[in-house]
Amino acid sequence: MRATLLYGAGDVRVEDVPDATISAPSDALVRVTRSCICGSDLWPYKSKDPDAPGQRMGHEFIGVVEDIGSEVTTVRKGDVVVAPFVFSDGTCAYCHEGLHTSCVNGGFWGVGDVDGGQGEAVRVPQADGTLVVLPVPVDDALMPSLLTLSDVMGTGHHAAVRAGVREGSTVAVVGDGAVGLCGVIAAKRLGADRIIILGRHQVRTDLAREFGATDVVAERGKAAVARVKELTGGEGAHAVIEAVGLGESLETALRIARPGGAVGRVGVPQTGDIPGAQLTFLKNVTVSGGIAPARAYIDELLPDVLEGRIEPGRVFDRTIGIEEVPDGYRAMDQREAIKVMIAP
C-alpha cells in the first residue's frame, strides 16, 4: 500500500510499504478515506535528522473498518470510524479519567510497527478503545468537520477547557493556525463573551471572526501584549489559548493572562522551559494544557458537528490525493494553506 514517510527536513515521500494487517486480537484494519496534515507535522518537517530512519507520518484519519481482530466488539466491518491522534484502550484508570493520552496501553500512530494515518490503510491497535463509529455515510458532506475530531478540534477544545473558558470569559488565542481557529470555535461554544485572536494572516483571522473572534491583534511580542492589555482595560484575558508552541508565543500568552487566569497550552512545545516563573507567580496565573486527549472529547463534540452547530472543517482550505502529500506539506509550511485534507 501507499503511505507517507518523512526522511529529513523538507523531504517527505509517498512510498510503497507493507500492507496493513491485523496482528493482535484487539486490532482493527481501517481503510483510510480521509486524513490530513497537522501543524505539528511541520516541526519534524522543518528539522528531522536525515540520518535517522524514515518516519511514517499522519495521526488524523477517518476510514472504513475492513477487518477486526477476534476480541473487537465495538466496531464492525463496514463501519465508518474516526480515530483520535493517540490510540488508547478505553479501560485503564487514565482513560476513565478522560486522559486517554496517558493510557497505559496507548501509543502514537507511526511509531514502531504502528501505521501512520497519511496512507491507504491503518492497523488500529486497541480498536475498541480507540475508534468511534460515525453515523454517516463515508462520503457525507460533514467529513471535513468530522475529521477534525481526530485532533485539531479536540485540541482547540482541550486548550479552552484547560484555560478555564466559561460563560462570559474574555479569551485570547495566540496563533491563527488550524488549532488556534478551533480554539476560537471552542471558546465561543463554551460561552466566551469576547475572543481576541493574535495573528497576522488575514485569511485566517477573517475565518476566526466568522468563528466568533471579536478582536484581531496583528502585533507580536511586547506590542501584542500592550494591545491586548489595552483591549481589556489593562487587565488581560481570563483565559488564554496557546496554539503555537514557541517560547515567544508562550511568553506572550503568559503576559496577556489576567491575574488569577490560566493559559491552556496545546502548541507542541519547541522550548525546554516555560518562561515567566516570577511573572506567573505574582499574578497567580495557571499554566495548564498539554497533549489533548481527543478521544475524551469526541462524544461531547460529535453531536455539535452532526447538527451543524460548529463547523471546524472550514479550517481545511485544500484537498489533495495521497500522491500529492509532499506538496501538501510544502503548502502548509509556506502558509499557502491553513490545513490540508487528503482524500483518496
* Residue 267: CB minimum distance to a second copy, A: 9
Single-letter residue type at 97: E
Cβ-in-10-Å burial (0-12, 13-18, 19+) of 42 comes to middle
Phi/psi-derived region of residue 90, left when phi > 0, alpha when psi is between -120 and 50, beta in every other case: left
Give the bridge partners for 62, in sequence order: 34, 82
CB nearer to a second copy: pick between 189 and 238: 238
Q: Of 76 and 96, which has the nearer Cβ to a second copy?
A: 96
CA distances from 227 to 39, 98, 235, 236, 256 (A): 26, 36, 11, 10, 9
Restricting to residues 279-318, which ones interact with a second copy according to CB under 8 A? Answer: 280-291, 293
- Residue from 45, 61, 85, 94 touching a second copy (CB under 8 A): that is 94
The binder of a second copy chosen from 273, 307, 308, 334 (CB under 8 A): 273
Binding mask 156-195 for a second copy (x = CB under 8 A): ------x---------------------------------
Q: Which is nearer to a second copy, 255 or 318 (CB)?
A: 255
Name which of 81 and 171 has its Cβ closer to a second copy.
Answer: 171
Per CB under 8 A, the list member of 275, 302, 317, 324 interacting with a second copy is: 275
What mask, x for binding a second copy by CB under 8 A, covers residues 134 to 153?
A: --------------------
Q: Binder to a second copy among 4, 33, 88, 101 (CB under 8 A)?
A: 101
CB of 262 closer than 8 Å to CB of 164:
yes
CB atoms within 10 A of CB 269: 17
DSSP H or E run through 206: helix 202-211
Tell me the DSSP string of 11-63.
Answer: EEEEEE-PPP---STT-EEEEEEEEE--GGGHHHHHH--TTSPPEE----EEE
- Nearest distance from C-beta of residue 231 to a second copy, angstroms: 17
Give the shortest CB-23-to-a second copy separation in angstroms. Answer: 26
Q: How far is the CB of 166 from a second copy (least distance, A)?
A: 13
Q: What sign results for the dihedral spanned by CA atoms 191, 197, 201, 206?
A: positive
Site string for a second copy, 188-227 (x = CB under 8 A): ----------------------------------------
**How many residues in the shown chain lie near a second copy by CB under 8 A?**
34
Burial 332-344, CB ≥16 within 10 A → b, else e: bbeeebbbbbbbe
- Whose CA is closest to 39, among 59, 53, 55, 14? 59
Question: Whole-number minimum distance, CB 291 to a second copy, in Å?
Answer: 6
What is the binding site for a second copy (CB under 8 A)?
A: 94, 97, 99, 101-102, 162, 250, 259-260, 262, 265, 268-269, 271-278, 280-291, 293
